[in-house]
Amino acid sequence: MAYPKLPDVLPPPNSPEYVALAREMAVKTGAAKDAPRTYFIAERRKAERKYQRLIRNLLKKAEDEVAKLADPTPDAIIRILTQIASSPTFQHMAEEAARQTVTMLAVGMKRSWRAAAAASSQGRLIYQALMKETTGTALGQSISAIVAENSKLIVTCPHDMALRFSKLARQREFEGVRPDEITKEIMKEAKHLREFEARRIARTESAKASTALVQSRAESLGLDFYIWRTAHDSRVRPQHGSMDGVICRWSDPPDPESMAGERSYGRYHPGGIFNCRCIALPVIALEDINFPAKVHVSGHIETISSLAKFKERFGIAA
Ligand SMILES: [Zn+2]
């Protein structure tokens, strides 16, 4: 499904321009109350695409180094890939790619929060808090942690390629394949791996990062609940399909696989597992929840019929 293109600067919430835009997006996505979800997903996808491009370019640079070899024997290729992975320049470029993407995502997420605030009955308070915030330390810390983890992942790529190619070369040598044929095979494989890794890292990491950014902001605003939302398409895993619309707490991550009676991957928030494109949509005010609501509580999904019962269930003062 194609999401409507977002303007770079969102009109202020509750302004006529904003309402018109939200309505247009709601019509395009088929659900009037779905506008905030659309914003969060669109920003994540934007970051994912940018990140994929950056990683691909970076790995292409490693390939270019290989192409410059005067005598590209399999051994020489493996050696240069290992050198690239441990070179400070490459590590620095990997960190820059991660930082650029996460910074862009953080800005996008802030925009999405404004959209969520605009759709909330109690949005005014959150909106003011969002406006006041200048340099949230919690947010800064979570950005640094994401950048560090991601640059490590990118740097690992050429290293993994080297290992893989050395196995491949040995096997082909054993089979009596000529070195120049092995080199050709390695170069073909390198191209394939570059695309595969760029897509895998960009997708998995942009989802993980967007949830981490939402969580860090939610916690700083004192918001405990979020709604698990899927990308609403045919590629959503069934275990996550049954989480769509379920209200969860940051302090109590669900285990979607074991709830579906399958092998567990542990407890995690949306985006917390490979290839997951789900998002966590913050619940800004309990009054915004539609009852009856499906709610995750320590490994089970309960249906709660009213706001009063919801507050009672979680020990929230009426
Ligand atoms: Zn998912």
Cα 306 to middle of ligand 1, angstroms: 27
Total residue count of the chain as it appears in this document? 318
Q: How far is the CA of 182 from the centre of ligand 1 (A)?
A: 39
CA distance 14 to 284: 16
Q: Please report the pLDDT score of residue 155 as a whole number.
A: 93
Of 203, 223, 243, which closes a domain?
223
244 and 96 share one domain: no
Is the model's pLDDT at 11 over the cut of 60? yes
Q: How far is the CA of 276 from the centre of ligand 1 (A)?
A: 4
- Would you place residue 2 in the very low, low, confident or very high pLDDT band (cuts 50, 70, 90)? very low
Of the pLDDT bands very low, low, confident and very high (cuts 50, 70, 90), residue 13 is low
> Does residue 34 carry a pLDDT above 70?
no
Top pLDDT among 217 and 311 is at 311
Query: 202 versus 134: which is more confidently predicted?
Result: 202
| Strands of 247-249's sheet in order across | 279-282, 225-229, 247-249, 293-297, 300-304
Residue 294 predicted with pLDDT over 50: yes
For range 184-197, the mean pLDDT: 94
Residue 40 CA, ligand 1 centroid: distance in Å: 14
Averaged pLDDT for residues 197-211? 94
Among residues 223, 256, 290, the one where a domain terminates is 223
In terms of phi and psi (left: phi > 0; alpha: psi -120 to 50; beta: otherwise), the region of 232 is left
Q: Which tops the pLDDT comparison, 28 or 153?
A: 153
Band the pLDDT of 14: cuts 50, 70, 90: low
Mean pLDDT confidence for 73-88: 93
- Both 219 and 253 in a single domain? no
Q: What percent of the chain has pLDDT over 70?
A: 85
Measured in Å, residue 210 CA sits from the centre of ligand 1 at 13
Ligand 1 centre distance from Cα of residue 93 (Å): 30
Q: 300 CA to middle of ligand 1, Å? A: 18
Q: Is residue 28's pLDDT more than 60? A: no
Least confident of 112-116, 117-121, 271-275: 117-121
Q: Which residue has the higher pLDDT, 83 or 4?
A: 83
CA–centroid distance, residue 279 to ligand 1 (Å) = 8
Q: How confident is the model at residue 30 (pLDDT cuts 50, 70, 90)?
A: very low
Distance (angstroms) between ligand 1 centre and the Cα of 209 equals 14
- Residues 261-267 have a mean pLDDT of 95
pLDDT at site 163: 93
Ion ligand 1: residues, CB within 5 A, are 240, 276, 278
Instruction: Report the C-alpha gap between 98 and 54 in whole angstroms.
Output: 9
What is the CA(275)–ligand 1 centre distance, in A?
7
Owning domain of residue 293? 224-318
Ligand 1 centre and the CA of 106: distance in Å? 20
Q: Which residues pair with 249 in a beta bridge?
A: 225, 252
- Identify the pLDDT of residue 39: 83
| Same domain, yes or no: 127 and 244 | no
In this structure, the answer to whether residues 209 and 251 fall within a common structural domain is: no
- Give the pLDDT of residue 264: 95
SS3 (DSSP) at 142: helix
Q: State residue 32's pLDDT score.
A: 43
Pure H helices in 68-178? 74-86, 88-119, 123-132, 137-174
Give yes or no: residues 25 and 111 share one domain. yes
**Ligand 1 centre and the CA of 285: distance in Å?**
24
Work out the average pLDDT over 156-176. 94
Ligand 1 centre to CA of 274 (Å) is: 9
Average pLDDT, the chain: 86
60 and 193 together in one domain: yes
The number of distinct structural domains making up the chain is 2
Ligand 1 centre to CA of 217 (Å) is: 21
> How many angstroms does the Cα of residue 44 sit away from the middle of ligand 1?
13
Residues 210 and 310 in one domain: no
pLDDT of res. 231: 85
Single residue among 206, 223, 240 that ends a domain in this structure: 223
Q: What angle do CA 279, 285, 291 make, to 5 degrees?
A: 80
Could you tell me the distance, in angstroms and rounded to a whole number, from the CA of residue 194 to the centre of ligand 1?
24
Whole-number pLDDT of residue 4: 44
Task: Say how many Å lie between the CA of residue 247 and the centre of ligand 1.
Answer: 15
CA of 270 to the centre of ligand 1 (A): 6
The predicted pLDDT at position 182 comes to 93
Q: Is 213 or 34 the better-scoring residue by pLDDT?
A: 213
